[in-house]
Amino acid sequence: MQQIPVDTAGAMLMVAQPPQPKYANQKTQERAADTRTGELLSTLDVLFVKDGNAEVVKITVPESSIVGELVMGTQVGITGLVARPWENEFNGQKRHGISFRAAFVSVQTAGASQAEAA
């Protein structure tokens, strides 16, 4: 699967929705896990503001890679953010989009630059 690195330099990243468990199956509440490590995954909604544009993106991250208390409005640093295009077919309807995955997410300390956090 193709991965496209996302440049967060110069962007303000802020928690829009705190981390939530990611489920492989919502009905059975089966948790999603990293296919390589087996580690459980969480999702985090982040407000991504750069060059006067703002967008909320949902980022998947391994649970152990979330550092600090990430509550709504907290500025964060993100390391290893990649975008992955996807496509599937469900009930005869083709769907497509972009998913985001990060290696590490932490609270951005006051005075630290994005480069220091990433």
Question: What does the pLDDT look like over 20-39, one tens digit per residue?
Answer: 999 999 899 999 999 999 99
Task: Report pTM.
Answer: 0.84
Cα–Cα distance measured from residue 18 to residue 44, given in angstroms and rounded to the nearest whole number: 6
Task: Outline where 11-113 has alpha helix (H).
Answer: none
* Structure token pair of residue 107: 């609270």
Model confidence pLDDT, tens digit, residues 50-81: 999 999 999 999 999 999 899 999 999 999 99
What are the strands of the beta sheet with 53-62, ordered from one edge?
A: 4-5, 82-90, 93-101, 53-62, 41-50, 12-21
Q: What are phi and psi of 87, to 5 degrees?
A: -155, 140
* Structure token pair of residue 94: 């083709």
pLDDT of residue 112: 53
